[in-house]
């Protein structure tokens, strides 16, 4: 009997899909919605979900948090990184109490919130009034294939530069000509 091969990408795909399913279970009145993402979470969602699958979950559109967007009288699912920039843009969407960007917000962070972020959100009363969900969904990497993933860190190699350089020197030290 052949054993099924483990697929990290498939596990992540199931987790992302279950995130949206569970959100609908927890919020039975959530029908049509808009998914708002930042640059990092856009890569995560697009790596694991097709637009047709998002439509099946009641997500009518995917919008970039960093771009100017038209207001909609729909609920928004914010799947964003917990950075100062993303939080500032989220707060800006609900700054005008009479004309908020969306009907309400379901905020899901892809990583642990740094200290001070929760307090910043709590201090914004216009946002708090429209906040239906706020939780952390730990998924801060992308699978490039079934067994390979990346943290998508621009300066990732900088962390190891010193030790890599030393290893390279050691290797060169032992190489001799004929």
Return all residues near 8 (Cβ < 8 A) that are at least 6 apart: 143, 146, 147, 148, 149
Average the pLDDT over each of 54-58, 64-68, 76-80, 162-166 and give the range with the smallest value. 162-166
Quick one: CA torsion of 15, 102, 127, 28, rounded to 10 degrees?
Answer: -50
Q: Which residue carries 């350089």 as its tokens? A: 165
141 falls in which pLDDT band (50, 70, 90)?
A: low
- Stretch 20-49: mean pLDDT: 90
* The predicted structure's pLDDT at residue 137: 84
* The predicted structure's pLDDT at residue 167: 43
* The predicted structure's pLDDT at residue 77: 97
Domain boundaries, the chain: 8-174
Output the CA–CA distances (angstroms, integers) from residue 167 to 35, 103, 161, 174, in the order listed. Answer: 45, 56, 10, 11
> Is the pLDDT assigned to residue 139 strictly greater than 60?
yes
- The domain 8-174 belongs to what CATH superfamily? Sec1/Munc18 (SM) protein, domain 1 (3.40.50.2060)
The model's pTM = 0.78
């Amino acid at each position: 009997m052949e054993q099924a091969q483990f697929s990290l990408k498939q596990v992540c795909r199931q987790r992302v899909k279950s995130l949206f399913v569970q959100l609908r279970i927890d919020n039975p009145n959530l029908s049509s919605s808009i998914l708002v993402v930042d640059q990092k979470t856009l890569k995560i969602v697009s790596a694991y979900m097709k637009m047709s699958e998002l439509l099946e979950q009641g997500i009518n559109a995917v919008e970039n948090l960093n771009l100017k967007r038209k207001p909609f009288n729909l609920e928004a699912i914010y799947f964003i990184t917990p950075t100062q920039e993303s939080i500032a843009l989220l707060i800006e969407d609900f700054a005008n109490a009479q004309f908020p960007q969306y009907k309400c917000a379901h905020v899901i962070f892809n990583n642990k919130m740094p200290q001070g972020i929760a307090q910043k959100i709590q201090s914004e009363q216009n946002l708090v009034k429209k906040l239906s969900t706020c939780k952390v969904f730990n998924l801060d990497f992308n699978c490039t294939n079934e067994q390979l993933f990346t943290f998508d860190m621009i300066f990732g190699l900088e962390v190891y530069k010193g030790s890599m350089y030393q290893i390279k020197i050691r290797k060169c030290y032992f190489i001799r000509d004929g």
